[in-house]
Structure 1
């Protein structure tokens, strides 16, 4: 606390932490606090400043307010501004409280003991710091919500009589990422995707639905390995698919995560199982020296036990109070940033998505949405989503290479993994789930219906085993609805010209989209 921020709140600027402002403006709220107290935190995705015009507008990651919104140039003024207009950034707040110490916060409460913002700051200090301020319990004041539900997604709410507030934070001090309300997320939640999925499968015959579900499950399992750049044997893909099919049946605790890691890894001769006992990172190694080149640095191994306990407590205590897709985004992306294991983190991260959706009954019984397959299709967007936070966090992690070409983290980073803005992650996951309902589930059901019709009609022309029927269907699909000369001369030499023509017509009639697409490619 050697830096005294009083009278050090900056004046108008055009650049803040290498981020240009749309006009010369006065940093306010979190931006002002980060600058005045020199807080080493991931800078929020959106910052606030006071402009010169008399209208509020957003541009280039800034929300520019009018001169009449100018806060008092002190701790209380900018804290109140942040809570009123910017929502909660728990990482900034906890780092700020460490910098101020308890007395300046207690002074804010003493100056306005019945004020809702003062009591919210008071609660947040004690909740985040796990320390009690030298203040008597609040005697009056209407109960205030800690999270403004019009700005950010909140949980149910537990009354704190000491502060006369309702704690509706979507987590615990050990793990509490936040999600801002956006038009995109509001639209997805309003759609009721779970209801759409149930209505979609309601008219599908049970046997057809079972086959659809089996294909989607295998597709998801295979895609999850492909995302990691792996091409495992079919039996390993099927084993992991069976694990995904059982998602949501068991509580996720540390023992369950370690059990799942053992299944994911398979051959563990060269992999340490269980929580890491050294550093970890995602990235490359220098080709000459082998030195680490991190894109993301995982949580310190000393912090893993507490962070994983925070994750599992969130799943048990908080996730049921949130929209299932939002809860899945918080749990799964929190896990992948922590990266608690030496290997297997990516597949377990995607398993946790299935776990929350299944546990909450979001997907129809027996049906797994192939989220991993959609992620694979959108792999660059997936990487950008991960980088939306990891790139802002990476410069704040001090590390050195080890003699094993790993990383050793030198500063306290645990809060970076506990508290982050998961809004981009929630939007991305919702878009993936919507794609599975809008495209994958109906497309696979339609495909199997078409295949069954094709198969039944072909058997009226020529009796052949299922293996050969499958091959015939694949050849026609690959060749735009016509049998190649090679296929006619080899596998299907027994068909007459009339029978071959009739089968081609059946395929085109039952699979018009596939036939048309393949024909265009040709």
Structure 2
């Protein structure tokens, strides 16, 4: 353990762990703590420093504050700066507390027993660490929230009298990713997307809405497999679609996750079902040596029981008292980073989005937003969001290849899956949900309404089975509203020239007027 007086905080610099600062500045907050205590943690997405000028400078990776913001060059000063200006980063705090030991944190509390930041630090230490500090309960100081709700999403919280704080952390010590409040997220929330969705379907006849919902459900199921590069048989797509349609009806627990995996895999003759009993990674193998080339390393299988229980507790607790889309992003992306199964993780990860939204009543009854279809359209952004954490996590994982060309993780990594910044994931998911409500749902409803009108026009002209009308429509759709010579000479040779002309006119009037 390191005592406080042994720690030296560095002076001005221009580079920190391969990140170049926008100007020469002195590390502050988390960056200073990571540097001084040599913490092996994923770097926060944005770090802080204090510069030499009386203006704030900010880019994607750094926020340079003024000299008057500079904290005292000690543990207390940088911890207080971090909580005040950078929010709570549980992964950094856990490693920091393990490194400083209890005595250094106790010293901070004893010097400022009623200080709001000292009491927050005290609570976070005992929430994260297995043993409490040898301190009497706080006797003064007004109650303050552990998470600043203006910085990060939090729950209503419960009072913790020992520290005189309100515990509003949106999770448990086993699973508690956090999301920062950003202008983008505030804009999405202000849109009131559930009300928009209800307005879209309000005047849609019940039978048409049922058909729209069925199509969107199938579209989502097909897209979810396509994201994984798979083309399963239609019966598997339909079976998974039915499972998505029932999302939110069953509470999430281990048995439910196992049931869903069996549905999504189908033929499991060559796949081991159930939670992993060995390491796992996402990536490739070297063509010659077959050695793993991981892009993402999954949680150690030893950590899966605690991590899974943490996700379940989040679903049954904090997820029901947080913004639904933010909660869905936290649960779903947390699941995919943990990767608890050998196969099926990606599709189950997207199922969890539907589960949270449906359980919270975010979408209209009977309507499933085709979120996977929106993700498929934004596949590059989706991969970037996944990599926004994986690339920062990968260098911190020590591993070795196994005889089966898998990987074996050699260090403790469980906290990196419990605590991560899910802000990019929440912003991405909100954009996908908005697309499904503002574009996909009204577009599909309008399409089916127009298709019904087209079918009625054809049936008024000539007797034709429904499947033949559908084939006719597809030919017209493929050829910009006219029948091709091949179709005219084969499947629809019985049509007269006048009938052909009237059908083409009907198609063009109905579908082109909708553009």
Q: Which TM-score band applies after superposition, normalised by the shorter structure? A: over 0.9
Looking at structure 1, the residues matched to 238 and 59 of structure 2 have their Cα atoms a distance apart, in angstroms, of 48
Looking at structure 2, the residues matched to 479 and 130 of structure 1 have their Cα atoms a distance apart, in angstroms, of 68
| 1:497 Cα deviation after fit | 1.0
| 1:7 Cα deviation after fit | 4.6
Q: Which moved more, 1:344-353 or 1:59-68?
A: 59-68
* 2:48 is equivalent to residue 51 of structure 1: no
| Partner deviation per Cα, 1:333-365 (whole Å, 9 max, x = no partner) | 000000001111001000000000000111111
Looking at structure 2, the residues matched to 511 and 479 of structure 1 have their Cα atoms a distance apart, in angstroms, of 13
| 1:264 Cα deviation after fit | 1.1
Looking at structure 1, the residues matched to 308 and 7 of structure 2 have their Cα atoms a distance apart, in angstroms, of 41
* 2:14 is equivalent to residue 18 of structure 1: no
2:505 partner SS: helix
Looking at structure 2, the residues matched to 35 and 513 of structure 1 have their Cα atoms a distance apart, in angstroms, of 63
* Cα RMSD (Å): 1.1
* 2:212 is equivalent to residue 199 of structure 1: no
Instruction: Flag structure 2 segments of 5+ consecutive residues without an equivalent.
Output: none
1:224 matched residue in structure 2: 224
2:282 partner SS: strand
TM-score, normalised with respect to structure 2: 0.99
1:180 partner SS: coil
Looking at structure 1, the residues matched to 143 and 6 of structure 2 have their Cα atoms a distance apart, in angstroms, of 31
Looking at structure 2, the residues matched to 262 and 34 of structure 1 have their Cα atoms a distance apart, in angstroms, of 43
1:126 partner SS: helix
* 2:399 is equivalent to residue 374 of structure 1: no
Mapped contact 2:2–2:99 kept (Cα < 8 A):
no
1:519 matched residue in structure 2: none
Q: 1:4 to 1:161 in 2, by over 3 A?
A: closer
| 1:499 Cα deviation after fit | 1.2
* 2:324 is equivalent to residue 320 of structure 1: no
1:150 partner SS: coil
2:269 partner SS: coil
Mapped contact 1:7–1:73 kept (Cα < 8 A):
no
| Partner deviation per Cα, 1:203-227 (whole Å, 9 max, x = no partner) | 0000000000000000000111111
TM-score, normalised with respect to structure 1: 0.97
Mapped contact 1:30–1:78 kept (Cα < 8 A):
yes
| 1:57 Cα deviation after fit | 2.6
| 1:3 Cα deviation after fit | 8.8
1:349 matched residue in structure 2: 349
2:64 partner SS: strand
1:391 partner SS: helix
Count of aligned pairs between the two proteins: 515
1:389 matched residue in structure 2: 389
1:499 matched residue in structure 2: 499
2:42 matched residue in structure 1: 42
Mapped contact 1:172–1:310 kept (Cα < 8 A):
yes
Looking at structure 2, the residues matched to 499 and 245 of structure 1 have their Cα atoms a distance apart, in angstroms, of 41
Instruction: Flag structure 1 segments of 5+ consecutive residues without an equivalent.
Output: 517-522
Mapped contact 1:6–1:74 kept (Cα < 8 A):
no
Looking at structure 2, the residues matched to 491 and 163 of structure 1 have their Cα atoms a distance apart, in angstroms, of 79
| 1:152 Cα deviation after fit | 0.5
Mapped contact 1:21–1:60 kept (Cα < 8 A):
no
List aligned pairs for 1:45-444, cutoff 5 A. Answer: 45-444=45-444
Mapped contact 2:2–2:100 kept (Cα < 8 A):
no
Looking at structure 1, the residues matched to 400 and 510 of structure 2 have their Cα atoms a distance apart, in angstroms, of 62
Looking at structure 1, the residues matched to 230 and 439 of structure 2 have their Cα atoms a distance apart, in angstroms, of 26
List aligned pairs for 1:431-470, cutoff 5 A. Answer: 431-470=431-470
| 1:265 Cα deviation after fit | 1.1
Looking at structure 2, the residues matched to 367 and 230 of structure 1 have their Cα atoms a distance apart, in angstroms, of 25
Mapped contact 1:218–1:237 kept (Cα < 8 A):
yes
| 1:199 Cα deviation after fit | 1.1
| 1:5 Cα deviation after fit | 7.2
| Partner deviation per Cα, 1:477-514 (whole Å, 9 max, x = no partner) | 11111111111111111111111111111111100168
